Amino acid sequence: MKGFWAILNLVLLLALSVGGFLIFRSYRSFSTASSNTPHQVQSIDLRKEVVHLDSSLRFATTSSSPLNGEALLIPPGENAKFTLRPSIDLTSEIDDGIRSYIAAHPNLEEEVRIAWQSDSGGDLQTFGDGRYEFVPPEDGGAVVVKFRGVIDRGNLENHPFTLSGETELRLLFATPVERIPKEFLEAVGAFPRLGEKSVLAPYKDFYRPPTHLYRVDADNQNWLISPNFSLGDFDLHFDFTTPDSPRMNQLPQFIALDPNLVLKLEKILQGVREQGFPASTLSILAGFRSPAYNSWKKEQPGQGGAYTSTFSRHIYGCAADFYVDLDGDGVMDDVNKDGKVDMEDAAWIRDNVVDAVDCLAVEEMPGLKGACGIYPFHDIPDGPTQTPNLHVDIRGWDGGPDLLRWDIDSNNKRRTIWSHWDKRPCPSEETITRASQ
């Protein structure tokens, strides 16, 4: 009997072993077959993993400013108005499924969610269709506004993706005078006041002390505020030569600057290039001159004092002295090609370029109208190599001497050239009305 049970147990054990072996073989065969279907496994993974495409959104920025440099120079007391429009920019290696989805949704850019932040405060307002207005902080100054855009399609069953991109906008706001620290205002000095009997009294609105000044510092002085001019081109060029020079000739400083002056210089540069001189920019001797510097310069002997006016347009940020210097030697080029460099080269630029810009201003852009003077030397006390140069400004007066022309005579005296516009009238005018200064 015991032998019977022993044999039966042995048979059952053998049957169980064979059955287990067969089940194991079947399971292994299924696993191997599954591993041989990589497309099915890949499809399952794609449904779970979102493809993040950084820098796949680009932003086009436009503004109401005609300058459009790498930084927007905002007129004093105004907000920054601009448009920011995103577009999709896919690289060649992007998955065909994602590319097909985007091609089938041509208005996908309208669904971009945009977030922003400012490094200096302020507030951003949106008006739809990509239109924005940035309200600056109370102190104004240089502001960098950063934007990030995102399109999220992580809920798609196939080829889920997220597109994103970043950009930044540099804004230069003027600071209200009452918010400028006292030590900087003292360095700028007091603006002169017009008397009721002054010859300039009829134009007193053009000689009011500015209510805002731009801060120029080491961080923003090289920001291009137009295609060819930087903010630092218009600061006080460290021209003091007094025992107090180390304190006065440094950054930061606050300057007056009218954006129309920058625009006028851009148009003059364009005219210089059209005359056959491929200048990269105009060499600016002086832009803003603070009242403190202007008063000090008037007291200097020689040209420094002789050519300086109490109510110079320089102190209002509305004038610049410049020359054309393609070879970079610090001296005006021989633009009239007479074999020498002298005041006649400055006169050639006046007659062939500046006059055309002022005539355009008379017809279309009155905010650019202004005077032009030519000089055999510049009037920076103890300045570097002397050079002929031109003074241009914006005045915009109606019926006044806004298109005045002058030069320096053989006695080193400034003389007004009243006959200039009689000989060279604008194409649309017989003459330009003379007016006393």
Residue-wise pLDDT tens digits, 35-77:
333 433 333 344 458 999 999 999 999 998 889 899 999 999 9
pLDDT in the model for residue 385 = 77
| Cα 128 → chain centroid | 24
What is the architecture, at CATH level 2, of domain 51-173? Sandwich (2.60)
> Any idea which of 1-15, 53-67, 287-301, 315-329 has the lowest mean pLDDT?
1-15
pLDDT in the model for residue 334 = 97
CA distance readout (Å), 257 to 193, 252, 260: 19, 15, 9
Residue 19 pLDDT grade (very low, low, confident, very high; cuts 50, 70, 90)? very low
Residue 164 pLDDT grade (very low, low, confident, very high; cuts 50, 70, 90)? very high
What is the rounded average pLDDT of the residues 127-154? 95
Which residue would you say has higher pLDDT here, 399 or 5? 399
What is the rounded average pLDDT of the residues 378-382? 73
Strand 405-408 to 372-375 pairing = parallel
Domain boundaries, the chain: 51-173, 175-423
**Token digits of residue 312:** 């110079």
**Partner residues linked to 150 by β-bridges:** 113, 164
d(CA 301, CA 363): 41
In this predicted structure, the answer to whether residue 316 has a pLDDT above a threshold of 50 is yes
Q: Are 341 and 388 in contact (CB under 8 A)?
A: yes
In this predicted structure, the answer to whether residue 21 has a pLDDT above a threshold of 80 is no
Crossing angle of helices 355-363 and 259-274, rounded to 10°: 120
Residue 92 pLDDT grade (very low, low, confident, very high; cuts 50, 70, 90)? confident
Query: CB within 8 A of 74, min separation 6: which ones?
Result: 65, 80, 136, 171, 172, 173, 174
d(CA 253, CA 250): 7
Query: CB within 8 A of 287, min separation 6: which ones?
Result: 233, 234, 235, 237, 255, 257, 261, 314, 317, 319, 320
| Cα 199 → chain centroid | 38
Residue 239 pLDDT grade (very low, low, confident, very high; cuts 50, 70, 90)? low
User: pTM of this prediction?
Assistant: 0.83
Query: CB within 8 A of 168, min separation 6: which ones?
Result: 144, 145, 146, 147
pLDDT in the model for residue 196 = 86
DSSP state of 247: H
